[in-house]
Amino acid sequence: MTEPVENDPAADLKRQVGVAAAALVEDGMVVGLGTGSTANYVIDSLGERWATGLRFVAIPSSERSAARAKALGIEIVGFGSHPVIDLNIDGADEIQRGTLNLIKGLGGALLREKIVAAASNRMVVVADESKLVQRLGEHAAVPVEVSPFGWESTARQLGEMGARVAPRHDRMGRLFVTDGGNMILDCALGQLEDPAATEVAIRAIVGVFECGLFIGRASLALVAGKTGVERYEVG
């Protein structure tokens, strides 16, 4: 089960939306498993359904999510045997109303999360209501996954775009390292007028592997608030 998180007022909301998203999974599906606190509740809810007889296979976006799913008995597979994902369920740091464009990557797995999203027929994003924004960048910086070699140069070029760039550190104060051995630069860009153009510009910089702008990826958002779980769809 999901560990309790101290001083997390959204924990119950995350639990509600995790249960709602897990209910979308059907027998025989290939399911993408996201990374982060809300995704953990999804995985735990799927583990409960697995224990009662639901059968599917999963492709997790991080080693942490894979370990959590395996501990619950969920079968883990790879893209070699299952190149297309039926349903990808993942969290978000910001969700733009209307478009369902996203900022993701606070959990440190944005490159793998975008690979999973790109291979999916359908992406459902799960969050609590605090993640809804009118414009991306209202509260969250844009995470950018970069090569450790020359990251200072990459950071300088991101700064020339107008970003306030901060290399991410782990809890021990060391530079954060992703599952793929890369670094993350958190880039505060303010509210984005054209997120799609910003994504293209960031990805054009040499040394950048991927950025946390997920444009046109999600088709449904399940958002938990005081009145329950609301559905938001594109358009």
Q: What is the pLDDT of residues 138-165, one digit of tens each?
A: 999 999 999 999 999 999 999 999 999 9
Nearest CA to 91 out of 67, 66, 70, 65 is that of: 65
Query: What is the pLDDT at residue 205?
Result: 98
- Locate the DSSP E strands across the chain: 30-33, 57-60, 75-76, 87-91, 94-96, 102-103, 123-128, 132-133, 142-146, 164-167, 183-188, 208-211, 213-214, 220-225, 228-233
Residues 192, 208, 124, 3, CA torsion sign: negative
Assigned token pair, 28: 């025989």
The CATH number fitting domain 11-132+215-233, selected from 3.10.20.30, 3.40.50.880, 3.40.470.10, 3.40.50.1360: 3.40.50.1360
10 confidence band (pLDDT: 50, 70, 90)? confident
Looking at the chain, the whole-number percentage of residues with pLDDT higher than 70 is 96
| Sequence spans of domains, the chain | 11-132+215-233, 142-212
Residue 175: Cβ within 10 Å count:
12
**Sheet of strand 183-188: strand arrangement:** 164-167, 183-188, 142-146, 208-211
Spatial separation of the C-alpha atoms in residues 20 and 156, rounded to whole Å: 42
Asked whether the predicted pLDDT for residue 2 surpasses 70, the reply is: no
Greatest alpha-carbon span in the chain: 54
Query: How many angstroms separate the Cα of 170 from the Cα of each of 7, 15, 173?
Result: 20, 26, 5
- Comparing CA positions, the residue from 7, 199, 2, 171 lying closest to residue 91 is 2
Q: Which residues are catalytic?
A: 113
Q: Which conformational region is residue 36 in: left (phi greater than 0), alpha (psi within -120 to 50 degrees), or beta?
A: left
CATH topology of domain 142-212: Alpha-Beta Plaits (3.30.70)
Other residues' Cβ atoms within 10 Å of the Cβ of residue 157: 16
Mean pLDDT over the full length of the chain: 95
Looking from the CA of 231 toward its CB, the CA atoms found within 13 Å total 7
Q: At what angle do helices 63-71 and 37-51 cross, to 10 degrees?
A: 30
Does 213 have pLDDT greater than 80?
A: yes
Q: Which pLDDT value is given to residue 5? A: 43
pLDDT at 109 over 70: yes
- pLDDT digit string, tens, across residues 80-93: 999 999 999 999 99
pTM of the predicted model as reported, rounded to 2 decimal places: 0.93
